Amino acid sequence: MERTCGGAGHRLHDFRSDTVTLPTASMMEAIQTARLGDAARGDDPTVNELEALARELTGKADALLLPSGTMANLAAIVGHQCRGGEVIVEESAHLYNAEGGGLSVVAGAIARPIRGEHGVLAPRDIEAVLIRDDDITVAPTRLVCVENTHNAAGGEVVQPAVLEALHRVASRAGVPVHVDGARLFNAAAYLGTTIEALCRHADSVWFSLCKGLGGPIGAILAGDAEFMQRARRAAKMLGGSMRQAGLIAAPAMVALQSDPYRVHRRDNALARTLATKLAAIDGSLVDVERVKTNIVNCHVDRYTDDAAVIVGALRERGVLVNGRRSKVRFVAHSQVDEASVETAASALSDALESIADRRHAAARVTHSL
């Protein structure tokens, strides 16, 4: 699906996030023909179908459709009874940095941020900070959160062996592990495995329906029956109990039934292609080997410490990206393609050249004064 901006036929290549995809024609059709009911009463057949498929995909006893990933994380934290306790998070985790502080405001928990290697927590570091109930001077550890793929670390993948080790360490202390799997399909596609394999060492997990899957709204939270009973109550409290939610389940079903692993492999490959092209412009921009899934972090510090300059220059050339400080982020998804990647690379090359030219011109002026 193409969107146009500016002059006739001028195509906009939107790499800001994989959340920008618009529902496809078949998703819109599924929305119009979806069988609906009151989901809060268990009466929506399309939601029931989606939750059944989600149980199968994750291998968990229960799965719940929620309106967002932020609510899924929050429902999980409340469901794991974290109030008054510590939640171990990687220091650049989305849950800790980008969810409005809900962890403390709503769930009443303390974050224990731990630095991971490229966003991946080391089991020995977790073991060192796990706090058991018998120490009355401190808040006990109630949960370990793992982000897979890791957003801020540029789509880094947590390997199944690491998940297993983290789970083993946490379980020994009686602490559950929650996987923030917004982009779990990207991780599975990279590893050539299933999301079930990545859920095996998680006591709870959620994945997004509106990132790589391309649906318009929604997230799936899954876990065992006892946990999910508490998470379902938490979601009710948070306002996440929906009515004719088949309207959002139907397009998600379309995505889940049309080889989601293939779709995510494509996105990952597209990001790798982009990374390679950017590195060819200047090797300092991207560490290609780090680009495993659909996110490309591009470091422009050699040119500017204000990414907004690059964001603006790319926008003028029909390419949308996010930028902060000296980092520009490209995210691949189903509505960008090889041509978008080509355009993005040449736009960045142009933008960097014009910055360099301006700098040289400024230097000449200073020199002649």
Ligand X SMILES: *Cc1c(COP(=O)(O)O)cnc(C)c1O
Site residues (vs ligand X, CB under 6 A): 68-70, 94, 147, 151, 180, 182, 208, 219
CB-based contact 274:296 (threshold 8 Å): yes
Nearest approach, Cβ of 299 to ligand X (angstroms)? Answer: 20
Beta strands 86-90; 110-114: pairing state = parallel
Number of residue whose CB is nearest ligand X: 69
The rounded distance, in Å, linking the Cα atoms of 143 and 200 is 16
Output Rg (C-alpha) for the chain, integer angstroms: 22
Q: Is 342 exposed, middle or buried (0-12, 13-18, 19+ CB in 10 A)?
A: middle
Q: Which of 190, 185, 110, 172 is nearest to 145 (CA)?
A: 110
The rounded distance, in Å, linking the Cα atoms of 76 and 220 is 11
- Which C-beta is closer to ligand X: that of 15 or that of 303? 15
- Which C-beta is closer to ligand X: that of 12 or that of 20? 20
Nearest approach, Cβ of 217 to ligand X (angstroms)? Answer: 9
- Which C-beta is closer to ligand X: that of 123 or that of 215? 215
CB-based contact 295:182 (threshold 8 Å): no
- Which C-beta is closer to ligand X: that of 209 or that of 275? 209
Beta strands in 186-292 (DSSP E): 204-208, 219-223
Nearest approach, Cβ of 366 to ligand X (angstroms)? Answer: 44
Phi/psi of residue 177, nearest 5 degrees = -115, 130
- Which C-beta is closer to ligand X: that of 94 or that of 329? 94
- Which C-beta is closer to ligand X: that of 69 or that of 323? 69
How many other CB atoms sit within 10 Å of the CB of residue 325? 13
- For residue 290, the 8-state DSSP code is G
Phi/psi of residue 24, nearest 5 degrees = -75, 170
Nearest approach, Cβ of 261 to ligand X (angstroms)? Answer: 19
Nearest approach, Cβ of 216 to ligand X (angstroms)? Answer: 11
Nearest approach, Cβ of 263 to ligand X (angstroms)? Answer: 17
The rounded distance, in Å, linking the Cα atoms of 119 and 173 is 23
- Which C-beta is closer to ligand X: that of 89 or that of 270? 89
Nearest approach, Cβ of 284 to ligand X (angstroms)? Answer: 26
